């Protein structure tokens, strides 16, 4: 039996497009007040406007998850605006694909800063509030790239598997008052791959996306499912991918 999630407050990173945008819109449709963060403020404002036009409640703030103070500020905005924080969705992520021997150290640093440290900073900002309230829910968006390792995805998959490990460790360490779920999407119909610098890799990933990708709505539905469970139930790993994805 699921519980009502209306009147909850959720912070979502990487909310200006793709999976983050879909999660924000779906949560707002279900009565959740959403606080959105991303680096592209123009797109963020557009998402907020779309939510408000549909009768939902949303605010936003430019956020670079590689900067700890930005996550602290985003969580503070939720508490200051709506008086509480119930859900933290760590969704922001980047991918730079290349063989490790090509030594794209700049790309490594970017993925570590955003995919790994950004999640840790988001968790830290939220847990500070959750511990005081003795309740809260963390959703970490991971990736199937960490489940099936492929050439050129080594460092990207490494950052995602680090988040997978951290998510499970937190679950075991916590007394159950703060719950946590890791969601691993496969190919999803977003513009995520368009930031890949390697032209060959970007083209290959985009072609595969166009052939088999599923809607980001599927990931948003998984978030709804997880946070709608009664307080004595915690949903662990969720893997969502196209049925034909290897």
pLDDT tens-digit series, residues 98-111? 899 999 999 999 99
Kindly calculate the radius of gyration of the chain based on its CA atoms and give it in whole angstroms: 17
For 119-173, what is each residue's pLDDT tens digit?
999 999 999 999 999 999 999 999 999 898 888 889 999 999 999 999 999 999 9
* Cα–Cα distance measured from residue 103 to residue 212, given in angstroms and rounded to the nearest whole number: 30
User: For the chain, what is the mean pLDDT?
Assistant: 93
pLDDT, residue 109, reads 97
Q: Identify the CA nearest to 238 among candidates 219, 216, 212, 213.
A: 219
**In the chain, pLDDT over 70 holds for what percent of residues?**
98
Model confidence at 204: pLDDT above 80:
no
Task: Give the angle subtended at the CA of 179 by the CAs of 176 and 184, to the nearest 5°.
Answer: 140
Model confidence at 79: pLDDT above 70:
yes
Model confidence at 193: pLDDT above 70:
no
Domain boundaries, the chain: 9-184+216-234
* Cα–Cα distance measured from residue 111 to residue 159, given in angstroms and rounded to the nearest whole number: 7
Model confidence at 25: pLDDT above 80:
yes
**For residues 77 and 126, is the Cβ–Cβ distance under 8 A?**
no
Q: Residue 188: beta bridge partners?
A: 214
Does an H or E element contain 88, and which? strand 87-90
Q: Is the pTM of this model over 0.75?
A: yes
**In the chain, pLDDT over 90 holds for what percent of residues?**
78
Tally of residues, the chain: 246
Tell me how far the alpha carbon of residue 61 is from its chain's centroid: 16
Catalytic residues: 156
Confidence of residue 117 (pLDDT cuts 50, 70, 90): very high
Angle of the 41-53 helix axis to the 18-29 helix axis, nearest 10: 20
CATH classification of 9-184+216-234 is 3.40.50.720, yes or no? yes
Model confidence at 194: pLDDT above 70:
no
**For residues 48 and 246, is the Cβ–Cβ distance under 8 A?**
no
């Amino acid at each position: 039996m699921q519980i009502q999630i209306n009147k909850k407050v959720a912070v979502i990173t990487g909310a200006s497009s793709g999976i983050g945008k879909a999660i924000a819109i779906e949560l707002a449709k279900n009565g959740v007040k959403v606080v959105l963060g991303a680096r592209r403020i123009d797109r963020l404002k557009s998402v907020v406007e779309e939510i408000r036009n549909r009768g939902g409640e949303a605010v936003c703030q430019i956020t670079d998850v590689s900067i700890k103070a930005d996550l602290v500020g985003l969580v503070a905005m939720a508490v200051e605006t709506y008086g509480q924080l119930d859900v933290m969705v760590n969704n922001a992520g980047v991918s730079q694909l290349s063989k490790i021997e090509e030594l794209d150290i700049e790309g490594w640093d970017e993925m570590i800063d955003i995919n790994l440290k950004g999640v840790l900073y988001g968790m830290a900002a939220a847990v500070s509030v959750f511990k005081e309230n003795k309740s809260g829910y963390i959703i970490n968006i991971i990736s199937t790239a960490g489940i099936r390792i492929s050439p050129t995805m080594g460092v990207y998959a490494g950052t995602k598997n680090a988040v997978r490990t951290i998510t499970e460790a937190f679950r075991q360490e916590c007394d159950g008052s703060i719950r946590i779920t890791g969601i691993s999407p496969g190919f999803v119909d977003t513009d995520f791959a368009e930031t890949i610098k390697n032209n060959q890799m970007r083209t290959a990933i985009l072609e595969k996306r166009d052939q088999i990708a599923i809607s980001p709505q599927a990931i948003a539905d998984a978030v709804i499912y997880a946070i709608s469970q009664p307080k004595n139930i915690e949903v662990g790993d969720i893997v969502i991918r196209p049925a034909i994805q290897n």
